[in-house]
Amino acid sequence: MRTRITFMVLLSASLALGACNSKSNDQPKENEIPVHTSATKGKILEPEMLINQNEASELLGEAVETGEKKETKAVGQKICFYKPVNSSSNNYLQVSLTQDSFMPPTGVGSETIYRETKRMIGDSKKEVKEFGNEAFIAIGGLHLFKDGYYILISSGKRDNEETLKNAGKKVMENLGKVK
């Protein structure tokens, strides 16, 4: 539950970043992350294309219900939350997919959201090199950025880091197949 609350705080910050995006011609301030508008228009992916129900069950080691879906078009985000069939289990797996192709034309861009999230997290993150692209584990889960897609995988499984890395491998494998 704490992970979901933290994720919601990060999402709120991302929404605020989008709301504050102005069209001024001012030069960026030192250490400021440039804000890029969403220019990439391509195939809109669904988070369950990256990890489906069967794969979520395998990753958690138990059966899960059909994913609960939510979306926030203002930031190009789609979420799929898998909870276990066993109501006494605390395990879960959530895939959040922020993509330029799902944002309105004036959106700040998935890369900007990823970089701003990474900056806000600061030193409390662990870089992950296994995926051959930019990724880190921090509060909220495994954060990945690849080809205009910012993917955040969260898990409530006891062996969280290993589950996140396995989920990340599955996401990268499936992303290559569907985009």
Q: For 131, what's the count of Cα atoms within 13 Å in the CB-facing half-sphere?
A: 26
CATH number at residue 130: 3.40.1000
pLDDT value, residue 169? 95
In a domain, 170, yes or no: yes
39 in a structural domain: no
Q: Is there a domain that residue 119 lies in?
A: yes
Residue 4: predicted pLDDT: 42
30 found inside a domain = no
Q: Based on the structure, what is the number of domains in the chain?
A: 1
- Domain limits for position 137: 2-14+44-178
When pLDDT is cut at 50, 70 and 90, the band that residue 93 belongs to is very high
Cβ-based neighbours of 94, under 8 Å, separated by 6 or more = 4, 7, 79, 80, 81, 82, 141, 152, 153, 154, 155
Confidence (pLDDT) at 159 = 77
Residue 27 lies in a domain: no
The DSSP bridge pattern shows strands 149-155 and 141-146 to be antiparallel
Question: Is residue 1 scored above 60 in pLDDT?
Answer: no
Q: Is 81 a domain residue? A: yes
Give domain status of residue 19, yes or no: no
Token pair, residue 36, equals 């890029």
Is residue 25 domain-resident?
no
Query: Whole-prediction pTM value?
Result: 0.78
Q: How many helices (H) and strands (E) does the chain have?
A: 5, 7
